[in-house]
Structure 1
Amino acid sequence: MQGMGPQSGAAPAVLDLFSGCGGFSLGFQAEGFRIAGSVEIDPSARATHAANFPGAIHFRDATILDPAEAAACLSGSPFTVLVGGPPCQAYARVGRAKLRSVASRQDAHLDDPRVLLFRHWLRFVEAIRPQAVAMENVLDCLSVGGRNVMEETAEALVRLGYVPRYTILNAVHYGVPQMRDRAFLLAYRGDLGLEPAFPEPTRAHELPKGYLHSRHVAMRGAGAATSRFFVQPRHPVVGLMPAITAVEAIGDLPSLAGSKAAGAIKGRRSTGDLAAYRTDVTPSDYAARLRSATGEGATSGHVTRAIGRDAVLCGLMPPGSEYPAAHAIAERLLAEEIAARTADGRVVSDLEVSALRAGIVPPHPTHTFPNRWWKLVADRPARTLLAHLGKDGYSQIHYDGTQSRVISVREAARLQSFPDDFRFEGTMNNAFRQIGNAVPPMLAQAIAGCVAQALGHGEARLAA
């Protein structure tokens, strides 16, 4: 990613709280900020952040860390910024459903300590008193158990002397090849006299009805739409370039056959292994931008899951189709196999049919999680990448039917706008989880641009 110049001690310093692998950090670094420190409890994500931001100080647990210790890494900077987003599993509908299934109560998610982590974020704000703060989280944080976490955070920031605003941004409108709605909060310390402003869209894409419905539910559920802190979501204006598509994002990466995917070959599960770029494909401007930092003709992380039985279905599914289509194809293949055996004069027993079914038809009922599987469409952006992509990668099946597979770690990173020189530490599943949890760096850079512009004005005001 292109930055504003080399970092220095005089650059505005960022502390990334609940940093994950560093999507927020990467976006701010690209706008000329110095990533001074991060706080992340997950060891794999913390290792990834440390590998990609070696100049930062890396802390482990925000719930026990003394903010003064973290603040020391920000010294010497003209402006300081605190960014981050508390873990979202307890806010997200998927996470809440899982918690309810364990606790057998509708409000079990409110007992999850992760719901209260935003209070630790505020503890750091109060102690460090940064000039600017930025928070990101899933839409459901606007309405969780009758609470609006962003609203509560904004109210608390006012009491701490800040001017806060929050809104909804979709990454696809900021150059990311993925439809990803998230809530963002910005706030400036009151003595700067600044009003938070969010970036204007740079790309046009009409969001599907499901995304618009989720926005409506989130905004209406706990009063966000009528809040004095809420800024109505930005809509792309006429004349903008269209969204980056899946083929623009990943079309130049090497082909992998579903039955011989990198993860299926013993010893090839390492996310550090290099894979050469395709030489028969000219990279798009987007891909070229992400490739530019590597300095090599290869990238790491192009490994994916071996999916065995389901590779055939992934290949046969039409682009844009979901699990019911895959299940119907499997039932057809099963019927054809039984018919072929019968045509040979064989008697196919019930036991044999059961064995055939187990080897051809996936076991999930079509009425539960019908969108469990989804196949990318080459000329459209991807759907939202999820944190459980490593364990359930069928939500992002490669659009190329000849490859018959789910996407790789590097392809997931491309769809999140991570550059190809960004390395992910840990296992393949860990890398997928880190990517799914991350703030897309290009969206983070758009936020950082607004902060950089505001802080420039703030510096002039303080000097006046």
Structure 2
Amino acid sequence: MAIPIIDIFAGPGGLGEGFSALKNDEGENIFKIALSIEKDPLAHLTLTLRSFYRQFGADEIPEDYYELVKGNIDVKELYRRWPEQAAHAHAEAWCGTLGDPDEKDANAVSDEQVDDKIRTVLRGRTDWLLIGGPPCQAYSIVGRSRRKEKILNEDTDKRVGLYKQYLRILAKHSPAVFVMENVKGILSAETSQDKIFSRILQDLSNPQGYYPAADGDVICPGYRIYSLVAAPERFDENGRPVYKPGKFVIQAEKYGIPQTRHRVILLGVRNDIDIQPAVLQEQEEVPIKSVIGKLPRLRSGLSKRADSYEAWKALLGELAIAGTNPVALSMSETLKKLEDTPFGKGKDYLSTEHQEIDYKGGWYLDRRLAGVVNHASRSHMDSDIHRYLFVSSFGKVKAHSPKLSDFPESLLPAHNNVKEGIDDKKFADRFRVQLEGKASKTITSHISKDGHYYIHPDPSQCRSLSVREAARIQTFPDNYFFCGPRTSQFHQVGNAVPPLLAYQIAGSVGEIFRQAGLLQLAEL
């Protein structure tokens, strides 16, 4: 009797993971993913593998799964050994491009195919949940700034209107509740006709107004759109809650997520369900040291010379450290303490004797892993490794990340716009250390391209974050394995909704279903 979930624009499955983890007092699942749709083939591999994992009870995960993440068997062999569970996973996770995809897109799916699939998996149930986050690149403030695009154009950028796929499913299939996530930039995005967010709120409140019902369709009664972090300021003449737009923003660091991730999350409750959801309960900020501080140490790789621990250590020794200021002293002290016992660059699976974490071990750790997955460092240029030592030492001493104007002249990058960065403060923080005593800055997909914004706080490691460290900051459990090459793994992690935040949202949503009499399980 678990509540079915349909997850569109699913990415690697962060939102669905949080909902899938919620159980009642008897250990039964409150929600179960019936269908997830993702267009990126590599994220889809991750999504399918996690679906396979969830086909088993927590105490029944086969040893073959751990053999896979350790690299001892491949995924084809895993699925061959467990054909029934693999078949369920492949039926649940669908690689498909929604909307109006390019004709050459091999994964393009039509609206009719989507509708047929939804009807098949729901089997006539109306007590179900729609979740997902339509692609956000069109709305991103950074993206708009980079494109020098103040006014969005739906005719030239199809991503602007992709929320309409979400809207169409609401109009056509009328779920009891929906949860939609997007970037904060959606609040300020606008076309030549209107502000995007105002239009989205209006459309989501009355999906049938945009997609009129055809003969035989169920009439969608519409939705009340709630914030998950604030009570309504008032209700309008139609009984719909009214908020200032900023009240829909969830600041993740206030809810136990170790990063300053600010996202718009909308909770829609069908108009025939007259229940106001509970808001999330604020928590103390979690510093990243609590989640990454006890992972195995890694050194950066060397991209322009023969790579070894000795060569890496010698490279650091080449750095001329001038002055007796606290940062210089910290750098010198770090170099003195570099031990003769080498430590490596990590790998897709790194065996460890002990697994420790200072925050929510029951959520993160899996003793059967006997190690860490997706934990390998990137290689960096010699000059950048020197800069990483300076930046991480600066952060350790000053408790904030340096600007370009703080750099010694010898460590300034040889970029044409460095002077502009110093004088005008434009991109002055292009090298950013994550401070161990604070929540991380937002983990975004940009981490796949540039490690400079995600420098590890430990000066003795001189590197950017690993995929597993980014995943821990995003609150993925340690046994969540990301498929594909490392660039794709970073991209998947950065685009995801933090599962632990989704878990908290699931608690509020589950209570709506319970109060509405749609949840035939024990109380949450």
> Which TM-score applies when normalising by structure 1?
0.75
Q: 2:373 aligns with which of 290, 295, 300?
A: 300
AA partner of residue 14 (structure 1): I
The answer (yes or no) to whether the contact 1:96–1:109 under 8 Å persists in 2 is no
Deviation at 1:294, TM superposition (A): 5.3
Question: CA 1:90/1:297 → structure 2, altered by over 3 Å: closer, same or farther?
Answer: same
Unaligned runs of 5+ in 2: 23-28, 53-88, 100-109, 208-221, 228-247, 309-344
The answer (yes or no) to whether the contact 2:180–2:267 under 8 Å persists in 1 is yes
Q: 1:143 aligns with which of 181, 188, 195?
A: 188
Output aligned runs, 1:56-455, within 5 Å. Answer: 56-63=92-99, 64-66=110-112, 67-71=114-118, 72-75=120-123, 79-100=127-148, 106-108=150-152, 110=154, 111-145=156-190, 147-160=194-207, 161-166=222-227, 167-201=248-282, 203=283, 242-259=284-301, 273-277=348-352, 279=354, 282-286=356-360, 288-293=361-366, 295-308=368-381, 309-317=383-391, 318-319=394-395, 320-322=399-401, 324-325=403-404, 328-332=406-410, 361=414, 365=418, 366=421, 367-455=425-513
AA partner of residue 39 (structure 1): I
Aligned to 1:12: 3
* Matches of 2:139 and 2:457, distance apart in 1: 31
Deviation at 1:285, TM superposition (A): 3.1
Aligned to 2:12: 21
AA partner of residue 289 (structure 1): G
* Matches of 1:299 and 1:41, distance apart in 2: 28
* Matches of 2:498 and 2:356, distance apart in 1: 24
The answer (yes or no) to whether the contact 2:177–2:268 under 8 Å persists in 1 is yes
* Matches of 1:274 and 1:402, distance apart in 2: 22
* Matches of 1:68 and 1:417, distance apart in 2: 33
How far does the alpha carbon of each residue in 1:107-138 deviate from its partner, in whole angstroms, 9 at most, with x for none?
25654211100011100111121111000111
Q: Give the secondary structure class of the aligned counterpart of 1:79.
A: coil
Aligned to 2:321: none
Question: CA 1:255/1:11 → structure 2, altered by over 3 Å: closer, same or farther?
Answer: same
Deviation at 1:85, TM superposition (A): 0.9
Q: Give the secondary structure class of the aligned counterpart of 1:453.
A: helix
Deviation at 1:99, TM superposition (A): 2.8
Unaligned runs of 5+ in 1: 1-9, 204-241, 334-356
Deviation at 1:305, TM superposition (A): 1.8
**Stretch deviating more after TM superposition (68-77 or 360-369):** 360-369
Deviation at 1:73, TM superposition (A): 1.7
The answer (yes or no) to whether the contact 2:302–2:380 under 8 Å persists in 1 is no
Aligned to 1:44: 42
AA partner of residue 12 (structure 1): I
Q: Give the secondary structure class of the aligned counterpart of 1:25.
A: helix
Question: CA 1:152/1:195 → structure 2, altered by over 3 Å: closer, same or farther?
Answer: farther
Deviation at 1:393, TM superposition (A): 1.7
**Stretch deviating more after TM superposition (143-152 or 248-257):** 143-152
> Which TM-score applies when normalising by structure 2?
0.67
AA partner of residue 164 (structure 1): I
The number of aligned residues is: 377
* Matches of 1:265 and 1:12, distance apart in 2: 52
Q: Give the secondary structure class of the aligned counterpart of 1:97.
A: helix
The answer (yes or no) to whether the contact 2:369–2:479 under 8 Å persists in 1 is no
* Matches of 1:41 and 1:170, distance apart in 2: 28
The answer (yes or no) to whether the contact 1:252–1:277 under 8 Å persists in 2 is no
How far does the alpha carbon of each residue in 1:190-242 deviate from its partner, in whole angstroms, 9 at most, with x for none?
222222443222x1xxxxxxxxxxxxxxxxxxxxxxxxxxxxxxxxxxxxxx3
The answer (yes or no) to whether the contact 1:294–1:420 under 8 Å persists in 2 is no
The answer (yes or no) to whether the contact 1:16–1:37 under 8 Å persists in 2 is yes
Question: CA 1:301/1:123 → structure 2, altered by over 3 Å: closer, same or farther?
Answer: same
* Matches of 1:387 and 1:274, distance apart in 2: 22
The answer (yes or no) to whether the contact 1:12–1:77 under 8 Å persists in 2 is no
The answer (yes or no) to whether the contact 1:375–1:398 under 8 Å persists in 2 is yes
Q: Give the secondary structure class of the aligned counterpart of 1:301.
A: strand
